[in-house]
A and B are shown apart, each in its own frame.
Chain A
Amino acid sequence: MRVFLAGLSIVAGLATAAVAIPAKADPAPDIGNWQSVLDQARGQTVYWHAWGGEPRINDYIAWAGAQVQERYGINVVQVKLSDTADAVAKVLSEKTAGVDDGGAVDMIWLNGENFAAMKRNDLLFGPWAEQTPNFAYVDVEGKPTVINDFTIPTMGLEAPWGMAQVSFYYDTARLDSVPRSAQELLEWLVKHPGRFTYPQPPNYMGSTFLKQILTELVENPKVLQQPANQADAEKVLAPLWGYLEDLQPLLWRNGQAYPQNGASLRTMMADNEIDIAFSFSSGEVSSAIEAMELPDTVRSYVFDNGTLGNTNFVAIPYNASAKAGAVVLADFLMSPEAQLRKQDPQYWGADTVLAMDKLPADMQKAFADLDLGIASLSPSERGTVLPEPHPSWMELVETEWQKRYGVAQ
C-alpha cells in the first residue's frame, strides 16, 4: 500500500502545488536593428509547427534547423502536425486562457484561410517580414501573391516561403492526349467516365479544383478579386453549377464518394482508379516518382488558359516565446541558399519566391543549373498563373457545394 500511496502523493502534490510556470516574456524584437535581433535570437528554441506528412519536407526543415543552429545559435524543433488548424487552435486556446506571452507556438507554416483567420482575430505578431534582410530578394513585382495571400494583403505579418501552382498529371503509359481546359475535361470524361475526381470540399485541394473551374468559366474574372458581397454572387457562380451538373455523374463512383485529400489522388493514380490527378506543385509529382509512389512515366501539365497559383508563408503568433529566433529562421528560409535547396527536387522540389534578377550572378546560375526532375514543369511550361479568388468566394462555393453534392443519399 505504501508504494501506491507514495506514487500517488507525488502526483497529487505536483498537480495541486503546480504554481504557474512564469511565462517568460519575450520582448518584441527590434526588426530595424538586425544585429539586436540576432543577439536576442541566440540561444532561443523555436518550436515550428508545420505539417509533417512528407518525410522529404521534414528532412528539409531539419536541415534548415541545423543551419540556423550552426550560424545563429538557434535551436529549431519541428512540431509535426497532421493539420495546420491544430496550431491555430493551440494559439486560440492560449488566448482564451490569457497566455499573451510565452506561448507554445513560435512559428506556423500556413497560407490562405488560416492566415486570414489568424489575422482577423489578432493572433499574429508583426509586422516584421518585409524588414528582414533577405526579403530584398523576394519577387514582389513578378509574383504579387508573395504579399497578397489569397488577395489578403500580408502587411508583413508573414514571410513568403514557397510558390505553388495547380498542375495536372497523368501517366503517359496510359493516356496519349489530355484535356487542357475545363470544357475539354468534361468532354474527356464523357468518353472515360469515372476516371477523374477531386477531393471532397472543403478539403483545400478539392476547393482549389472548384475555384480553378470557376475562374475559367466566370464571365469577368475580375469580380472574383473582390469580396463576394460586392457582386451578384448567384449570377457569377451560375456557370460553375451548370458545369458541375454535367460533371458530377461522370466522376469516379458517380460522385457518391470522394477522396479525402490531394495525397489520396496520388494513391488512386497508382491504383489505376483514375487517369488524371492534380496537385499544387509539379515538383511534388517528381518527388513522388522518386519515392516510388508513382511510375516514372507520369508527367505534369497545365491548362491552356492557366491555372491557379499562390504562395505559402511562415507566420509568428502574437504570443510566441521566441519571436527573434523565429524571425531569424524565417529570414534564413528566404535566403537564396535555402531557397535553392528547396527548389532542388532531390531535397524538396518547391518553387522559389525569389526574383532571379535580384540575385547575385553565381546564385542565378545555380538556380538555372538545377535539374528540376522529370515530372516538374519549368517556368516556361507553366503558362499563366491565375490569381486566387477572394476567400469569401471559396466560402460561398463550399457551402453551396455541400448543399448540392455533399448529401448524395
Chain B
Amino acid sequence: MLRFFPAFTLILMIGPVCAGLIGTMLPAFGYLPALGGDGISIDPWRDLLRQPGLAISVRLSLVNGLVATLISFSLVMLFCAAWQGTRIFAVMQRLLSPILSVPHAAAAFGLAFLIAPSGWIVRAVAPFAGWDRPPDIVTLHDPMGIALIAGLVAKEIPFLLLMTLAALPQADADRTRQVVLTFGYGRVVGWLKAVLPRIYPQIRLPVLAVLAYSTSVVDVAMILGPTTPAPLAVRILGWLSDPDLSHRFLASAGAMLQLILVLMAIVIWRGGEKLAGFWGRVWAEGGMRGRRDGTLRRFAAGAAILSAGAVFLGLASLMVWSFAGYWSFPEFLPRSFSLRLWMREYDMLGAILWTTLVIAVLSVMVAIALVLGCLENETRRFQKPGQGAMLLIYLPLLMPQISFMFGLQVFFTGIGLERTLISVAIVHLIFVLPYVFLSLADPFRALDPRYGQTALCLGASPARVFWRVRLPLLTRAVLTACAVGLAVSVGQYLPTLLIGAGRFATVTTEAVALASGGDRRMIGIYGLLQMILPFAGFALALLIPAVVFRQRRGMADHNRV
C-alpha cells in the first residue's frame, strides 16, 4: 500500500500544477481563444521586452531576492552559532516563533508605519525636532528596494530559525558543539566549522523556498518596494488586473520570465553554495580558533533583537490603529480610542474563522499524510523521488501565483469541481504540500536510521517501527510542518477567492478585500485576526512535545533544542 503514496501525491498534484503551468505558458505564446488568440506567436514576448524599465524590474527582483535571502540566512546562522544552547537562545526562540504567524502583508504594513517619514519613529522624534509635518524624504518605496529587503529579512528570519531548530536535533548539534569547544574553538567559529556543514543540507530546501518567495513576492513589495518601476512580480499583477484583457498575453510572458528569474536565482545560490563550500573547507582546515568572538556574538544578538523588535513594534502599531480614533501626524498616539470597528467585525468572526479552519485542517491533514507516506516509502525502499517529481511539487512555489491561478481555474471549472469545499481544499493543498514537504523532508531523512534498524532487529514490523519509533522521534518536526502548512493555508487569498468562486469567505479573503480600502484601522484588525489560527498552530507545535514528553527526558531532549 505504502508504495502507492508517491503516485497518489503525483496524481493529486499533477493535474492542477500542469494546468497552472500550461495556463500561463500558452497565453505567453499568444494562445488564448477566449480572447481571440488562436495561433502561436512571440508577440507577447516582444511586447514584454518593449515595456519601459523592464531591465530595472528584473534586476530589482533578482538582486533583492538574493540579498534578502543571503542576509536572513547569514543572520540566522550567525545567531545560532553565537547563542545555541544558551538561555538567550531559548528566549529568542520563543520571541521569534510568534512572528511566523504574522501574515506577510500585516508585518509589512506594520513596518511601513514604523519607518515611514510620517511613521512612529519620526513621530517619537518630532516633538523634540519641532517638526509639524513629516520630512519629505524617501524611506518607503525607495528606488533601491532597501525597505523591501528589510521587510523580507524581518519576516524570513523566524521562518529560517524555526527550520533550523527542527534540524538541530538530527545534526546532534549539542554534542558537536561541546566537542569543538573542548578543542579550544570559539563558539561562533566552532559552530560554523562543525555544525553548519551538517545543518545546511537539512535546511537547504527552506532556504531555497525563501529565495523563491523573496524573488517573486507581491504583497510585501507593493507595501514597501520601489514603484518607479516596481519589481517584476508587482508589474505582472498590474498587467493581469488591467481592464484591457489583451494585457493578459503580456502578463503571461512576464510570468514565464518570472519563473526563469526564480530558477536563475536558485542556480546562482547553488553556485554560491559550491564556492562557500570550497572556501569553507579551506577555512576549516586552517584551524583558526576564533576565540575572541564577543563582538560578533553581540552583533548576532543585536540583529536578531532588531528584526524581532521591528516586527513586534509594527504589530503594536497595528494593534493601536485597530482601536484608533482620529490619529494624525505628529501625534504619537491617537486622540481617542474606539471599539467601534472591532464590534462590527465581531458578529461574523465565528463563521469566517470556522471556514478558514475547516479548509486549513483538511488540506494540512492530507498534506502531512501524503508527505509522511512518501518519506516513509522512501526510507523503506532506499529510493529518492526523481528530480522531475520534486520540480512538480515545488512548481507552485516558483510561479507567480496570480498567473498560475488562471490555468487552475480553467482546470477546476473543467472537471466540474469548482466552488466546492473539496476543490478549495485541493487548491490549498497545492500550496501547502510543498511547504510541508520542505519542512519535513530533511529532518525525516536525517533521522538516525539505527533507531529503526534496532527496532526491526527486535522483531517489530516496519509499520510498527514507523508508528512507535520514527513518528514519536519526529513529533516536533511533524507538528512544525503542520503549523507551517496551517499558516500557508490560512494565508491563501487568490486560490480561495477564485477556486471557491467567493463561496468561502475566510479571514484572509475578508482581510485583503477590506485592506484595499486603505484604512489602517481595518488593516490592523484583520492583520491581527489573520494571526489567530497560525499562532495557535505554532503554539501547539511547541507545547505538545513539551507536554507529551514531560516524563521522558531523552525524548524531550530529542524534540527540544
* CB contact under 8 A between A93 and B409, given known A81-B497, A293-B519, A395-B244: yes
The distance in angstroms between the C-alpha atoms of A110 and B11, with both chains bound, is: 39
Within 8 A of A (CB), among B128-160: 132-134, 136, 138, 140-143
Binary CB contact string for chain B from 357 to 399 against chain A (1 if under 8 A, 0 otherwise): 0000000011001101100000000000000000000000000
* Contact (Cβ within 8 A) B419 A8: no
The distance in angstroms between the C-alpha atoms of A55 and B56, with both chains bound, is: 38
Which residues on A sit within 8 Å (CB–CB) of B243? 85, 88, 112-114, 116-117
The distance in angstroms between the C-alpha atoms of A114 and B418, with both chains bound, is: 24
* Contact (Cβ within 8 A) A12 B11: yes
* Contact (Cβ within 8 A) A47 B501: yes
* Contact (Cβ within 8 A) A272 B1: no
Contact of B501 among A16, A54, A104 (CB under 8 A): A104
Q: Say yes or no for B351: interface residue by CB 8 A criterion.
A: no
Which residues on A sit within 8 Å (CB–CB) of B451? none
Stretch from B183-191, B294-302, B506-514 contacting the other chain: B506-514
The size of the chain B interface, using a CB distance under 8 A, is 95
Which residues on B sit within 8 Å (CB–CB) of A21? 416-417, 420
* Contact (Cβ within 8 A) B325 A96: no
Across the interface, name the chain A residue whose C-beta is closest to B462: A1
Which residues on A sit within 8 Å (CB–CB) of B51? 402
The distance in angstroms between the C-alpha atoms of A18 and B412, with both chains bound, is: 10
* Contact (Cβ within 8 A) B238 A54: no
* Contact (Cβ within 8 A) B8 A406: no
* Contact (Cβ within 8 A) B242 A85: yes
* Contact (Cβ within 8 A) B229 A406: yes
From residue A195, how far is it (CB to closest CB) to chain B in Å?
Answer: 9
* CB contact under 8 A between A292 and B338, given known A18-B416, A97-B414: yes
The distance in angstroms between the C-alpha atoms of A16 and B14, with both chains bound, is: 13
Within 8 A of B (CB), among A10-31: 11-12, 14-16, 18-21
The distance in angstroms between the C-alpha atoms of A80 and B132, with both chains bound, is: 38
The distance in angstroms between the C-alpha atoms of A93 and B240, with both chains bound, is: 13
Binary CB contact string for chain B from 285 to 316 against chain A (1 if under 8 A, 0 otherwise): 00000000000000000000000000000000
Within 8 A of B (CB), among A218-256: 252-253, 255-256
Q: Say yes or no for B74: interface residue by CB 8 A criterion.
A: no
Within 8 A of A (CB), among B32-56: 32-36, 51-53, 56
Contact of A83 among B227, B245, B341, B516 (CB under 8 A): B516
The distance in angstroms between the C-alpha atoms of A80 and B519, with both chains bound, is: 16
The distance in angstroms between the C-alpha atoms of A27 and B415, with both chains bound, is: 23
Q: Say yes or no for A82: interface residue by CB 8 A criterion.
A: yes
From residue B424, how far is it (CB to closest CB) to chain A in Å?
Answer: 12
* Contact (Cβ within 8 A) B138 A95: no
* Contact (Cβ within 8 A) B228 A257: yes
Q: Say yes or no for B543: interface residue by CB 8 A criterion.
A: no
Across the interface, name the chain A residue whose C-beta is closest to B511: A82
Q: Say yes or no for B226: interface residue by CB 8 A criterion.
A: yes
The distance in angstroms between the C-alpha atoms of A344 and B336, with both chains bound, is: 26
* Contact (Cβ within 8 A) B32 A202: no
Within 8 A of B (CB), among A69-126: 77, 79-83, 85-86, 88-90, 92-99, 104-105, 112-114, 116-117, 121
Which residues on A sit within 8 Å (CB–CB) of B453? none
* Contact (Cβ within 8 A) B501 A260: no
Contact of B227 among A258, A292, A403 (CB under 8 A): A258
Q: Say yes or no for B355: interface residue by CB 8 A criterion.
A: no
* Contact (Cβ within 8 A) A47 B467: no
Contact of A7 among B32, B53, B365, B409 (CB under 8 A): B365
Which residues on A sit within 8 Å (CB–CB) of B510? 52, 80
Q: Say yes or no for B117: interface residue by CB 8 A criterion.
A: yes
* Contact (Cβ within 8 A) B515 A53: yes
Q: Say yes or no for A261: interface residue by CB 8 A criterion.
A: yes
Within 8 A of A (CB), among B461-499: 463, 466-467, 493-494, 497-498
* Contact (Cβ within 8 A) B138 A253: yes
Which residues on A sit within 8 Å (CB–CB) of B373? 4, 8
Q: Say yes or no for A357: interface residue by CB 8 A criterion.
A: no
From residue B117, how far is it (CB to closest CB) to chain A in Å?
Answer: 7
Contact of A264 among B410, B426, B518 (CB under 8 A): B518
Which residues on B sit within 8 Å (CB–CB) of A53? 513-518
Q: Say yes or no for A156: interface residue by CB 8 A criterion.
A: no
From residue B6, how far is it (CB to closest CB) to chain A in Å?
Answer: 12
The distance in angstroms between the C-alpha atoms of A281 and B524, with both chains bound, is: 25
* A and B contact pairs by CB, cutoff 8 A, 29 listed: A1-B1, A1-B467, A11-B12, A18-B416, A51-B513, A53-B514, A55-B522, A85-B240, A86-B497, A96-B410, A97-B409, A113-B243, A121-B245, A200-B227, A200-B228, A253-B141, A256-B138, A257-B140, A257-B228, A258-B227, A258-B228, A260-B227, A263-B518, A268-B118, A272-B132, A273-B133, A292-B325, A292-B327, A406-B52
Using A202-B242, A253-B136, A256-B228 as known contacts, list a sample of 7 further A-B pairs with CB atoms less than 8 Å apart, ordered by residue number in A.
A8-B369, A11-B366, A11-B425, A18-B417, A86-B497, A121-B245, A255-B228
The interface of chain B, by Cβ under 8 A from chain A, is: 1-2, 8, 11-12, 32-36, 51-53, 56, 116-118, 132-134, 136, 138, 140-143, 222, 226-229, 238, 240-245, 248, 324-330, 336, 338, 341, 344, 365-366, 369-370, 372-373, 406, 409-411, 413-420, 422, 425-426, 463, 466-467, 493-494, 497-498, 501-503, 505, 509-510, 512-522
The interface of chain A, by Cβ under 8 A from chain B, is: 1, 4-5, 7-8, 11-12, 14-16, 18-21, 47, 49, 51-55, 77, 79-83, 85-86, 88-90, 92-99, 104-105, 112-114, 116-117, 121, 194, 200, 202, 252-253, 255-258, 260-264, 266-268, 270-273, 291-295, 395, 402-403, 405-409
